[in-house]
Amino acid sequence: MPQQSPLDIPEGDPFGPHNLPYGVFSTAGEERRRIGVRIGGYVLDAGAAAAALGSPYAGLLGQPSLNPLLAAGRTAWKDVRRALTAWVTDPGHRPSVEPHLLPLEDVVLHLPYEVADYVDFYASEHHATNVGKMFRPDGDALTPNWKHLPIGYHGRAGTIVVSGTDVVRPAGQRKAPADPAPVFGPSVKLDIEAEVGFVVGTPSEQGRPVALADFEEHVFGLFLLNDWSARDIQAWEYVPLGPFLGKSFATSVSAWVTPLEALDAARVAPPTRDFPLLPYLDDSGADRPGGFDLHITVSINGQEVAQPPFASMYWTAAQQLAHMTVNGASLRTGDVYGSGTVSGPETDQRGSLLELTWNGRDAIELTDGKRTFLEDGDTVTLTAWAPGADGTRVGLGEVAGRIVGTR
């Protein structure tokens, strides 16, 4: 009997060699940040393994951030993934690879990329309809532009934090309709938005749009994202220029970026479009479907509260990229964009407490009490999986964050 190896991954493990997400880690003994690749319950020190194996990618993988790898472009992404797959599957490589595997519980995970710009979209028809019904009850739930373009806005890149970072409850102005003037204080409607984020690798030139078909040339991978939202601050501030302080205090992202290549089997067609799309957004003749069949779970203090289905999103990530650049706006390595809250058609598929509690009207029951919005001490965790090849599942890295009181 050969000795048990960390590379003897149990069948069905969602972090098997078909997945191989990238992150950045350090250890208590060595604070230097370095690129890690998750395999089973372990993290491969990718740069060290590459050096041990004499790989030409030892330089790219020996960095303290994913940005150089992201900037290297799609051919490099494919080559590196092919090499990593061989290292973790070929028994001949084990003696070189095994010394560079660390148990997941022994590493500290960091924000894996330096964020350039951050854009957040609003691409779930179910979410936008729910919000429209609550906030604009006298008008149409969807604004007239909603099915003609993927609505988005810029968010604050500097407050994106990695999973596990505490989130300080924001203070700010709020004004109920009956209040004579706004009042100031800690948000009383602190919420989540369960989203999927995308990170750009290959940059583009200012003045030159990126075509729908070039999505995979520019976008490296995806990850779970929690767009924390203070609904009371947002409601008072957002007309006419959009969300600002209701969102900018923190956005949490997973420590693990799943490369798009790992999600080939998860591609699904987006919903039928209700209006003809302008050519730059028309994906009806695309080579492969633009949606991703990601199954998300939202938990509060370990208790599941919703299962938003990413496959139900009206606008795809490729359409969002094409739209974001159609005016000539350039892309930079490290640009991040969020899908917008993922909500499905069912009440238990809603990706925000705003929708789950209908703006606080219908509390949800947790074992530790009722919730309308988040309380100090609550921990919110998003997890997800996607179908892989041959009946496997591809696990996405979780994103978790705990609320702490306003300082």
List of residues contacting a second copy (CB under 8 A): 116-119, 122, 136, 143-145, 148-149, 151-159, 161, 168, 170-173, 175, 181-182, 184, 206-209, 230, 233, 236-246, 248-250, 275-276, 278-280, 323-324, 326-332, 335, 406-407
Question: How many other β-carbons are positioned within 10 Å of the β-carbon of residue 90?
Answer: 11
Q: What single-letter DSSP state applies at residue 93?
A: G
| Cβ atoms of residues 135 and 151 within 8 Å | no
Question: Considering the complex, what minimum distance in angstroms separates the CB of residue 276 from a second copy?
Answer: 8
Examine the residue annotation and report whether 127 is marked as an active-site residue of this protein: yes
HSE toward the beta carbon, residue 147, CA cutoff 13 A: 13
Residue 138: phi and psi, rounded to 5, are -90, -10
Selection from 164, 186, 166 nearest residue 174 by Cα: 186
Question: Three-class SS of residue 359?
Answer: coil
Query: Between β-strands 219-226 and 251-253, what pairing exists: parallel, antiparallel or unpaired?
Result: antiparallel
Question: Considering the complex, what minimum distance in angstroms separates the CB of residue 239 from a second copy?
Answer: 5
* Closer to a second copy by Cβ: residue 15 or 121: 121
**Active-site residue, selected from the candidate residues 18, 100, 126, 127:** 127
* Closer to a second copy by Cβ: residue 248 or 372: 248
* Closer to a second copy by Cβ: residue 278 or 389: 278
Query: Between β-strands 183-186 and 171-174, what pairing exists: parallel, antiparallel or unpaired?
Result: antiparallel
Measured between alpha carbons, how far is residue 384 from residues 128, 309, 320, 350, 387 in Å? 22, 10, 21, 14, 10
Question: Considering the complex, what minimum distance in angstroms separates the CB of residue 199 from a second copy?
Answer: 14
| Cβ atoms of residues 383 and 396 within 8 Å | yes
* Closer to a second copy by Cβ: residue 237 or 293: 237
* Closer to a second copy by Cβ: residue 15 or 198: 198
Question: Considering the complex, what minimum distance in angstroms separates the CB of residue 366 from a second copy?
Answer: 25
Question: Considering the complex, what minimum distance in angstroms separates the CB of residue 203 from a second copy?
Answer: 9
First to last CA, the chain: 57
Active site residues: 127
